[in-house]
């Protein structure tokens, strides 16, 4: 179905509403606002809205729209970077006439909630998918600096600044294409690198109190008390998963985060594939970066044993 069907549907509809996932990251915002920019610059007569949750980390990319339910009547909802229906941040996408899903996560039985799909789990970001979409049809599509900046931010954040597996020559070509629109690499890096004193102190907490397993799993329990103690947002707390990366002898790491209604797990690997384990715990994602949830912090011990099973036959090089 892919890119061609997406272009057909964009042309067909006068109203288009672009959705993302709960707890949005840079790629989610980049995809949403990059796509909105392409549509509005190419078809200024169309109504195009971006809805969902706010991400302070990449808030400079764009401002969400507030719309009423009646806007969905006769509209096309495009859901970006969202593997399953439960993770769509604005559930009103079901009110639209049709739904189009754009995503780069591995599909499972819960992935099929739209009328049309463009899914490519070989690409490291959904923002790269939109950049490819633009590049494929650039003779008839338009893109501005704002849209290019959004797509670049999406690509650079979801690839760990081009360090993760899945990054290819094409990834760098698409990022380079965005630079042609005037995107300032130094400015983006500065915006993404700034941290508050509270988050620096929280890093110290994580590095002082992490847990480890016998086979090489390292993790931290981010309780609500810790989040309140350091006066950080859930978004900043969740970003602490990166603090545990790159530690010799521990190729799999995770952050267990206590949200008001659930305990989410941010799971990462530079060794064995962990997407299957995430699915076992009601989640999913990529082979080396996934998310899921546990019922309580007591379940972390069972989770750690499951990770150790994965690590039993893996030897870090």
Q: Where in the chain is the domain with CATH 3.90.1640.10?
A: 2-192
* Distance in angstroms between the alpha carbons of the first and the last residue of the chain: 40
What span, in angstroms and rounded, lies between the C-alpha atoms of 153 and 61? 8
Mind listing the pLDDT tens digit of every residue in the chain (317 residues)?
699 999 999 999 999 999 999 989 999 999 999 999 999 999 999 999 999 999 988 999 999 999 999 999 999 999 999 989 989 999 999 999 999 999 998 777 778 899 999 999 899 999 999 999 999 999 999 999 999 999 999 999 989 888 877 899 999 999 999 999 999 999 999 999 888 999 999 999 999 999 999 999 999 999 999 999 999 999 899 989 989 998 999 999 999 999 999 999 999 999 999 999 999 999 988 888 899 999 999 999 999 999 999 999 776 54
CB atoms within 10 A of CB 229: 13
Identify the residue whose tokens are 């990834």.
171
- Cα 238 to the chain's mean position, in Å? 12
Q: How far apart are CA 285 and CA 268, in angstroms?
A: 10
Cα distance between residue 17 and residue 99, in whole Å:
10
Report the predicted TM-score, pTM, of the whole model to 2 decimal places.
Answer: 0.82
- State the virtual CA torsion across 77, 106, 63, 138 in degrees, nearest 10: -70
What architecture does CATH give domain 197-312?
Answer: Roll (3.10)
- Classify domain 2-192 at the CATH superfamily level: inorganic pyrophosphatase (n-terminal core) (3.90.1640.10)
Which residue intervals of the chain bear CATH 3.10.310.30?
Answer: 197-312
Q: Tokens in use for 17?
A: 């509403």
**Residue among 287, 266, 290 at smallest CA distance from 278:** 290
State whether the Cα torsion 173-125-190-188 is positive or negative: positive
DSSP assignment of 243-301: GGTT-TT--EEEEEEE-SS-EEEEEEESSS--HHHHHHTT-EE-SSEEEEEESSGGGHH
Q: Which of 22, 19, 20 is nearest to 238 (CA)?
A: 22
């Amino acid at each position: 179905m892919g890119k061609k069907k997406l272009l057909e549907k964009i042309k067909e509809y006068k109203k288009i509403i672009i959705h993302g996932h709960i707890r949005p990251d840079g790629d989610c915002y980049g995809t949403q606002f990059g796509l909105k920019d392409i549509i509005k610059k190419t078809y200024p007569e169309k109504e195009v809205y971006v809805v969902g949750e706010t991400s302070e980390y990449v808030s400079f990319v764009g401002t969400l729209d507030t719309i009423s339910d009646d806007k969905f009547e006769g509209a096309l909802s495009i859901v970006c970077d969202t593997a399953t229906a439960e993770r769509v941040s604005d559930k009103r996408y079901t009110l639209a006439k049709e739904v189009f899903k754009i995503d780069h996560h591995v599909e499972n039985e819960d992935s099929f909630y739209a009328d049309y799909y463009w899914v490519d789990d070989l690409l490291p970001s959904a923002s790269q998918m939109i950049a490819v979409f633009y590049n494929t049809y650039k003779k008839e599509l338009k893109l501005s600096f704002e849209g290019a900046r959004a797509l670049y931010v999406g690509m650079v954040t979801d690839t760990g600044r081009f360090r993760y597996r899945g990054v290819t020559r094409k990834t760098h070509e698409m990022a380079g294409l965005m630079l042609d629109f005037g995107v300032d690499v130094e400015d983006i890096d500065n915006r993404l690198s700034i941290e508050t004193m509270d988050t620096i102190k929280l890093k110290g907490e994580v590095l002082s109190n992490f847990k480890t397993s016998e086979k090489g799993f390292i993790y931290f329990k981010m309780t609500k008390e810790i989040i309140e103690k350091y006066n950080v947002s859930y978004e900043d707390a969740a970003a602490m998963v990166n603090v545990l990366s790159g530690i010799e002898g521990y190729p799999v790491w995770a952050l267990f985060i206590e949200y008001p209604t659930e305990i989410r797990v941010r799971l990462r690997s530079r060794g064995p594939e962990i997407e299957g384990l995430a699915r076992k715990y009601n989640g999913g994602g990529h082979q080396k970066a996934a998310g899921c949830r546990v019922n309580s912090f007591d379940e972390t011990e069972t989770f750690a044993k499951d990770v150790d099973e994965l690590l039993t036959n893996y030897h870090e090089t």
